[in-house]
Chain A
Amino acid sequence: MSRRALPYRTPGDEAVKAQQWMLVVDGESVDLPEALPDWDYQMSLRLRNEVHVDLDAVYSSTGLSPEARLSLVVVWTATGSGLRGTAQRASLSGGGAHNVVLDIELSGTQLGGLLTLDTQLVLAEAQETGSIAAPRRGGSVLWTNKRALHLQGDAPQFPIAVVDFASTPLPADAAWHVQLSEELNTATMGALLLLVNEQKKAVVAAFQNAASPRAIDKVYLSAAYADIARTMIEHAIADPDFSEESDYAEDSLGATLQNLLSNLFPHTSVQHLRRRRDQAPSLFASEIQAAVSIFEEA
């Protein structure tokens, strides 16, 4: 339930209740996880939920008249594509209690990055007959429930390309290179690219097997992950304007770096990390290894 201040009355938590989102795979429903590591944009998502709406309670708490038409909608937003759209819209009117089944299918081609599902109860059309402080405008949001899902396949979240380093200005014997834009407001999809040297066959194989890695693949991937994280953190803190308060767009490289730092160092400020890097760079490098739990799975 949103706690933002709205310029009209909203229903209490008892009037509208959502269940948990479920992911439907081959007809079977499972709890929707926080992340789908193997997702890529050829994979569509089918999701289900159920929302209980007590219309009488909604009308009485918001001051809307029972003639008001309401809609329960699911709006999705994907940072990888920068797009937003409506997944399902159900009309509600009359009175009594309703259980609304939400059953949505999102095409993978529109998605990527962080997917947010906003389930909202809204006033479907303008309503002028309600009481004082009742919502009036069509589209006014009365209740909202937000759920985020990280789509972490390598293609959308972290673009990877396999290339012969000998044909680039990169050192021909390096195994990988993280290409990062200096402009932190650029969309992550266009600002980040992991290049893997095709001459390093074992490393290429590890990335190709990332969905079901063998033991040896896990070693390579863990080493790569630690090094990539370190490169990204160094890139962030080398920018004097970067901080946890910097206002970057949701789908930007700056926001991705802020998320990475808050995940790996949840209780440490950027300023403090900068000092650690300057004062004890080798210890700082080891702290990053510890933060990413290097070789733990391997």
Chain B
Amino acid sequence: MSRLYPRLLPWHAKALHNEYRDLDLPELTLRHDVTHLSAVFVATGGDRVGSAELTALRTKVVGLATEAGYPGASDQAARASFDLALAEMLHSEMGLVPAEAASGDVWAFLSLVLLPDVAYWRYPAPGPDRVQASDITRHVFGRLWWRAHLVHDPSEQDPYAALAILGEAAFDQIYARRKALGGSPYLVKAILRVWGGLERSGVSEREVLRDFLKRLLRLAPFMCFEAMEDSQLDAELVRAAHDSVLALREKKRRELEMAGV
């Protein structure tokens, strides 16, 4: 059974963000709640979550944050491991269906009503899209749910193992091409499999991924990635990724040659 979460409407989200941006963490903790006077639920499509479940969700998120240094300062590595653990927890325990998770208002409720302290700790002085969910691919919690959803593989011993393959910035490159590539969990998982085994020494990881994704975008109009079995899809992706590495190595060699090195 899918679960319906309360939605915080945009004008309330905007007002709360304007109020919260200048508060410190203890004040934000005092403001957290499991309800908001103006929160709404959509009428059909699942069972509404209750206060007890929201409280339990908050306890778990705060627990993960505490392991990463909350409420104190945290370094990049701690934030990255917090994100991975949180992505898995949100996806495995919230009971959200994708159509519901596509609503920014659901995520705005989480970041501005249930967990404002954790949200503003994870992104100090955040831009509106981090907490108001005007762009889910940037939201402090929403982007993690989607990241987990696209790599989740129930047939694996650890269904979320692929979460760790790409860093946040690299994953964003795939997710930003959502319409052509990132909407297909099957393709995203294959990209991660191939990326994990790709020999790319001597060239920038970021540039290789960008070039690799460009090649896939060029193939997408006449290739159906989802039509192939795993092994065949991997073979095609390896070919494209390998071409990217070779092209960038050649580009680098020419640049060094031009520079007279």
Contact = CB atoms under 8 A, between A and B. Distances in A.
Given A40-B44, A161-B43, A168 B9 contact: yes
Contacts of B88: none
Contacts of A89: 227, 229
A7 B223 CA distance: 11
A169 B102 contact: no
Nearest to A81: B98
Given A110-B98, A190-B104, A139 B43 contact: no
Per DSSP, chain A at the interface is mixed
Contact of B185 (A85, A108, A126): A85
Nearest to B234: A138
Nearest to B146: A82
Interface stretch (B25-33, B34-42, B59-67, B194-202): B34-42
B232 interface: yes
A250 B183 CA distance: 12
A156 B227 contact: no
Given A141-B222, A208-B43, A249-B179, A112 B236 contact: no
Given A41-B2, A42-B45, A161-B40, A125 B232 contact: yes
B133 A83 contact: no
Q: How large is the interface on A (under 10, 10 to 19, 20 to 34, 35 or more residues)?
A: 35 or more
Contact of A6 (B44, B135, B222, B229): B222
A137 B219 contact: yes
B99 interface: yes
Contact of B99 (A80, A140, A193): A80
Contacts of B100: 41
A85 B42 contact: no
Nearest to A153: B44
B186 interface: yes
A85 B226 contact: yes
B130 interface: no
Interface in A98-153: 108-113, 118, 120, 122, 124-126, 137-141, 153
Interface of B: 1-2, 7, 9-11, 37-38, 40-46, 97-105, 133-136, 178-179, 183-186, 219, 221-229, 232-233, 235-236
Given A126-B235, A190-B104, A190-B105, 14 more contacts: A41-B100, A75-B227, A84-B226, A122-B227, A124-B232, A138-B235, A154-B43, A159-B103, A161-B43, A167-B37, A186-B135, A189-B102, A190-B136, A193-B105
